[in-house]
Structure 1
Amino acid sequence: MNLRRPRLALTALFVFLLASLSASAQIQEIGDGGPGPVKGQHITAEMVSLAPSVSPGGTVQVGLVLTMEEHWHVYWMNAGDSGQPPKVIWTLPSGITAGPMQFPIPQRLPLGPLMDFGYEDLVTFPMDISVASSAKPGPVHLDAKINWLVCREVCIPGKAHLGLTLNVAQNSPAGQPVGALGQALKLIPKPLPAGMSTAITAGRTDIILTLKGGSKETDAEFYPYDQDQILNAPDQDVVPTADGVSVRLKRAAELTALPLTIRGVLKFSDDEAYEIVAPVKAGEVAFAGTPAKNASAASGVTAIGAIGLAFLGGIILNLMPCVFPVLFLKGLALVQSSGEERKRLRSHGMVYTLGILVSFWVIVGVLLALRAGGSQAGWGFQLQSPVFIALLASGLFLFALSLAGQFDVGLSMTSVGGDLAKKQGYTGSFFTGVLATIVATPCTAPLMGAAIGFALAQPAGITFAVFTALGLGLAVPYLVLSFQPAWTRILPRPGAWMEVLKQLTAVPLFATVIWLAWVYGQLFSAQPGEAADHIARLLCCFLVLAIAGWALGRWPLNWRSTVAAVVLCVVAIAIPLTTPKPLVLKAVPYSQAALDEARAAGHPVFIDFTAAWCLSCQVNEKLVLHASDVESELTSHNFVVMRADWTAYDPEITKQLASINRSGVPTYVIYPAKGNADVLPELLTKSVVLDAIQRDSK
């Protein structure tokens, strides 16, 4: 059995052991070289032809027909998570050649955590038999050895000896596409028609396949020709576009480097599929997922119902931990200003509401623009962007520091200037609404899911109506209090408790920041080491922001401290947004076997004994080992660079360290192709490493 994912090892091993018990120690071959049919375990095999004869220089189609018992299956050319496709090995007379086996449109075959690609009930695999023009007339026998794997909960290998006798004769009539073979020929995936095109954008976790130039499709499945490019088991989300379809696939962890193209079959129905070869572009694409109109139809959601659900969901959204601190501070401001003129309070409520609505309309505009361009996005699509998450997390962290009492700028995040927020000017109220919308995007309140899912699959007018209702729901608590200031009597009176409670509201904001940092790391989850580096850069950003907040709190109302804090904030934001320089020279994991193999091939070897918890190791790597001139020298002298990661205890690495009289990291060793180990100092400089490279590469 072919297995391609470690996480499926236990299941596949269990299936394989059951298969071993079910099959005999040696597979018995069935058939005597004739066309059959022949009966094996849970399967019947037969060889058929469209015509009994073929002309010299002509071609005839033959086919392998496999009929399975109920619930048993065989496999497509890419079997999926496990399995192997049938194979035919021909023994043919001189002048006769056989083309490759052709595979009809497959289907998805789930089995526990596995997803296989294959066929149930009956399948025919066509093949072309070509006869040379010099072939002599008369009967010829086509001998075929067949191998297959037929599976249910267990898998049973089988093999057969089949064959066909054809007559080579002048002016032989062409065969008619009838029977199982004729039907199979109609089910072979076709080349993509002229005027249609495909493109693929591959991100860290998702691969978006877009077909353009065809009619609007409502269903599609993608089957890759090559293994270890996508995760087979997850559902493939499908969204129709105006002239085609977009399909979201989950990127396989094994796909560390993107290929130039991805090849496969795009299936629209059991009898319509196309072969595609799509160029791959790296990038993150927002995507809504499976269109909600099908789900909404099943649940009975209507436009009016979606608007009502959105309004109620917006009200509940105020209680979410990422939104409540903002609303709470506006509530405090309302209590303190309850004696103001009623008209002015109403105006503040209207401006706050306008800020929320404008923000929601901007989001809807972006969603509709993406949809018009063939991509899709859902609520919170901004969280698919590492830049947005870094900015949002940094802003919330700085806001939480202010609430916790480190410094006091009021609601400066929501205004163009700090004094506007302090005075609760209209600009402050408007941008408070903007902030409430921004911090609401990571949250989904009850009732929102069905409404938003429905809205994203509807025409633009309904989409705007649903999102407007959601914004109004978010704004209505404060809006109602601003119109009925007498209701503020139910709120506690101003006092010292307000400062304590304001500080407590920093807790859910800090919790939201922790969650956003986790989401930030998940965007890089396809490369675990890279994910840890990105999270560390974001944490460094928070550290610098904390220093900026300390400066504002230490010297309040001082323009020098304000300038210093602004500079520190810019530096802080730049840390996670600056893309690290890609490594020119990739290190391979250390093993004694790899070391011996490299030296036997005549390569000098540089071993970096390191660990994630070793600070000196990280400094040496960043400043010296990854310097462009050091990498260039290692490359030009054909060094094999190995990384002996001692983050977790490894007895093989420990043994190797002991062999050079070392017991810890950092340790750097050069093994010349011939000669003894050259141990470098723990603290490296570029000159030390460059001299050692020259010395040990001679």
Structure 2
Amino acid sequence: MKWLGRLLALWAVVCASGYAQIEPVGDGKTPGPLKAQHLTVELVTQHPYVYPSGEFNAGLVFTLEEGWHVYWLNAGDSGEPPHAKWTMPAGITATDLKFPVPQRLPLGPLMDFGYEEGVTFPFTLKATEKAKPGKTHIEAKVDWLVCAQVCLPGKAVLGMDLDVLPAKPAEEKTGEEPVGAIGSALKSLPTPLPDGAKVSVNATPTEFLVTLHSPDKGEVWEFYPFDQEQIKNAATQRVESFPGGVRIHLAKAEELTKNPAELHGLIKLDDGWGYEFRVPVSTAAAAAIPGAAGSTANGGATAEIWGFLGLAFLGGIVLNLMPCVFPVLFLKALALVQSAGEERKRQRSHGVAYTAGIVVSFWAIVAILLLLREGGSQLGWGFQLQSPVFVAVLAAFLFLFGLSLAGMFDIGLSLTSVGGGLAAKQGYAGSFFTGVLATVVATPCTAPLMGAAIGFALAQPAWITFAIFTAVALGLALPYMLLCLQPAWTRILPRPGAWMETLKEFTSLLLFGTVVWLVWVFGRLFGEDGVDRAVRLLAGLLLIAVAGWAMRRWQGKWLGVAIAVLLIIGGVAIPLTGQKAAEEEKARWAPWSEAAVQQAHTEGKAVFVDYTAAWCLSCQVNERVALNSDEVQARFKKGNVVLMKADWTKYDPAITEALHAVGRSGVPTYVIYPAGGTAKPDVLPELLSKSIVIDALDKDLK
């Protein structure tokens, strides 16, 4: 359903972009109420006068039709808060709009923050000594977005006449509290934390833990962030109460890659009041909650910890069935069948070595994770998949291993690590490093039952984290260990035969499927450049396929091994290089638009437009051979030429029209628009060289 959320968010943005075309209601002569689509808007004040050095409260009142809403300061997943732009006489100013405590407004997979039925946004009018006595007029240009299933932008121009008095009137009482809509709005504004209250925020890899200590707290309902893209707005907010406070569990936003230095938030209570706070974010483990579920006292493990240990252990067992782990376990089981004649003690020792490899590897990864987290990095289980280098190397290894299983070349059933010589050994070292490999390919997976256990573990002290992940490791090692402890159980496995070769080839499909997933992960690590980077990884895998052919062509010879190693290194290097050059190219070329071309001409600059597309091979060749060469780029810079790229990868009618205007109907097309915009555009040939581009620039820039 994420696509629907993005579609709705995009719709809100499109609606908001229409502000400039919406005709406002009102002419600035009246405070309202003015009727607009699905609401009325009105300007109200505490007094009809001001006086020098005085200030008083006013408000912008929205009254909404049923089912419609306007937005809080942070609108949530989509939307836009109301804005007011003031036109004031000299000596009178207005503060920004103040936003009362909002409510959650769910819409499909989205969660917005705002107000239904009606809301008043208070603000303060202030007068200085420069305010001249007499009649004066203030005016506000207001815009908003009102939404239900669709969103509609609106505008109004409100105005109000005020009397500027020479001094404070005698009848005005000091400290007089506003009444009506303004008074209610002021009371619904968030307040600072009361005396004796304290908020702390601890960050885990997946959550923010907001702990409120307050002797006079009401029942806490929910949390609202003032900043966007920090929490998953639509996620359930789990609240744990304890004597004297509460803790709120907030799922982090997917877009958040680094913890903010501080969290600016609003805690809403059951009576509609709210506490506003701004506190630093700590990466240290949160203190245990006394008397609440999940807490520990005096270092003793509670029943809940044992429950999570059980979940972790069962999750580790289930991990053996995951596509990224099962081939490793299956191949080790086949090796066990082949060695069924060995003495029982030796088989059991292999099981212990395999288990040790898994446990030691889990401990090493968790230790690294905790050390990096203490240093401020925000990492979760499977964090190594956030490293492009790790993903590329793992994909290359699994692809090479899959080629072996598919029969392209033979490295033996016991080959279960990228080093080959370690896990291929028939001794205990081979079993140990098979356990290491099982861990490497297992950690990116989160089997059923593991999610809650991992989330709990990463928020706990180090010893609990290690205990839970040790349970995962033991669960992962259990099936093979049981076969080693009870060799008689291998009788239930089929006898070795020709079927093993067929099944081995079938197992390669699981590895190739995992490689497809890793290519997708690799692309996602680079955001909008992900497709290009994924293609580079595929090109590297093609080179690795050639390495597999070399090992088959010169099986068992040093020549084949040497060629294969060089090709594998190249295959891994291809997807990891070129990022800096891509970033430099992206910085040089601005997106094309007709308006941008006109703006450049207004500034007296010539424009070079590269009409291109991702599927155009000639375009890519021209860019690398000519356009992005040092010589051509130097000539562009010398001539103060604005570089623009018109990307026609997806059909764009504006680009199509621009192509027709220069007599072309496809790409590649290269056009120099001379400075001033009056000279005829110069269309270059489809195939470029450095000299063709430089000569054309010399001619057109005279």
Written as runs of structure 1 = structure 2, the 5 A alignment for 1:341-356 is: 341-356=343-358
Contact 1:317 1:323 in 2 (8 A): yes
Distance 1:660 1:135 in 2: 61
Contact 1:357 1:472 in 2 (8 A): yes
The AA in structure 1 aligned to 2:475 is G
Distance 2:681 2:137 in 1: 62
Contact 2:222 2:237 in 1 (8 A): no
The change in CA–CA distance for 1:32 and 1:591 in structure 2 (over 3 A counts) is: closer
The change in CA–CA distance for 1:327 and 1:26 in structure 2 (over 3 A counts) is: closer
Report the equivalent of 1:539.
Answer: 538
Contact 2:201 2:210 in 1 (8 A): yes
The change in CA–CA distance for 1:458 and 1:209 in structure 2 (over 3 A counts) is: closer
The AA in structure 1 aligned to 2:79 is S
Report the equivalent of 2:92.
Answer: 96
1:635-672 alpha-carbon deviations (Å, 9 max, x no partner):
33222323344445666656665666666543433232
1:256-314 alpha-carbon deviations (Å, 9 max, x no partner):
xx9xx999953344522357999xxxxxx9x9xxx9x99999xx993222222222222
Deviation, structure 1 residue 125: 3.0
Distance 2:39 2:672 in 1: 59
Report the equivalent of 1:401.
Answer: 403
Deviation, structure 1 residue 124: 4.2
The change in CA–CA distance for 1:517 and 1:38 in structure 2 (over 3 A counts) is: closer
The change in CA–CA distance for 1:135 and 1:577 in structure 2 (over 3 A counts) is: closer
Contact 1:224 1:262 in 2 (8 A): no
1:350-394 alpha-carbon deviations (Å, 9 max, x no partner):
010011111222233234335545555433232233222222211
Distance 2:139 2:541 in 1: 68
Distance 2:651 2:65 in 1: 51
SS state of the match for residue 505, structure 1?
Answer: helix
Report the equivalent of 2:244.
Answer: none
Return 5+ residue gaps in structure 1 as ranges. Answer: 17-22, 201-205, 253-257, 279-284
Distance 2:622 2:213 in 1: 57
Distance 1:223 1:41 in 2: 27
The AA in structure 2 aligned to 1:175 is G
Contact 1:74 1:148 in 2 (8 A): no
**Segment of structure 1 superposing worse, 113-122 or 316-325:** 113-122
Distance 1:685 1:542 in 2: 31
% identical equivalent positions:
49
Written as runs of structure 1 = structure 2, the 5 A alignment for 1:449-528 is: 449-525=451-527, 527=528
Report the equivalent of 1:184.
Answer: 186
The AA in structure 1 aligned to 2:128 is A
Contact 1:8 1:113 in 2 (8 A): no
SS state of the match for residue 252, structure 2?
Answer: strand
Deviation, structure 1 residue 27: 5.2
The AA in structure 2 aligned to 1:547 is V
Contact 1:215 1:244 in 2 (8 A): no
Contact 1:218 1:245 in 2 (8 A): no
Report the equivalent of 1:282.
Answer: none
Distance 1:41 1:649 in 2: 37
Contact 2:73 2:226 in 1 (8 A): no
SS state of the match for residue 249, structure 1?
Answer: coil
Distance 1:423 1:358 in 2: 19
Distance 1:393 1:88 in 2: 55
Contact 1:177 1:183 in 2 (8 A): no
SS state of the match for residue 584, structure 2?
Answer: coil
1:216-269 alpha-carbon deviations (Å, 9 max, x no partner):
9997543348xxx889965499999xx9998733549xxxxx9xx999953344
Contact 1:311 1:469 in 2 (8 A): yes
Written as runs of structure 1 = structure 2, the 5 A alignment for 1:667-678 is: 667-673=669-675, 675-678=679-682
The change in CA–CA distance for 1:239 and 1:519 in structure 2 (over 3 A counts) is: farther
The change in CA–CA distance for 1:611 and 1:313 in structure 2 (over 3 A counts) is: same
Distance 2:658 2:28 in 1: 55
Distance 2:669 2:142 in 1: 53
Report the equivalent of 2:695.
Answer: 691
Distance 2:665 2:29 in 1: 65
The AA in structure 1 aligned to 2:694 is L
Distance 2:648 2:48 in 1: 68
Written as runs of structure 1 = structure 2, the 5 A alignment for 1:556-575 is: 556-575=555-574
Report the equivalent of 1:583.
Answer: 584
The AA in structure 1 aligned to 2:552 is G
Report the equivalent of 1:436.
Answer: 438
Report the equivalent of 2:243.
Answer: none
SS state of the match for residue 393, structure 2?
Answer: helix
Report the equivalent of 1:203.
Answer: none
Deviation, structure 1 residue 327: 0.8
The change in CA–CA distance for 1:452 and 1:419 in structure 2 (over 3 A counts) is: closer
Written as runs of structure 1 = structure 2, the 5 A alignment for 1:202-601 is: 220-224=223-227, 235=235, 248-251=252-255, 266-269=265-268, 271-274=274-277, 302-373=304-375, 376-410=378-412, 414=416, 418-525=420-527, 527=528, 530-578=529-577, 579-581=579-581, 582-584=583-585, 585-590=587-592, 595=597, 598-599=600-601
SS state of the match for residue 608, structure 2?
Answer: strand
The change in CA–CA distance for 1:458 and 1:659 in structure 2 (over 3 A counts) is: closer
Distance 2:614 2:128 in 1: 65
- Count how many residue pairs are aligned between Structure 1 and Structure 2: 647
Deviation, structure 1 residue 97: 3.3
The change in CA–CA distance for 1:9 and 1:357 in structure 2 (over 3 A counts) is: closer
Distance 1:275 1:95 in 2: 33
Contact 2:31 2:43 in 1 (8 A): no
Distance 1:90 1:591 in 2: 35
Distance 1:607 1:521 in 2: 28
Q: Normalised by the size of structure 2, how large is the TM-score?
A: 0.76
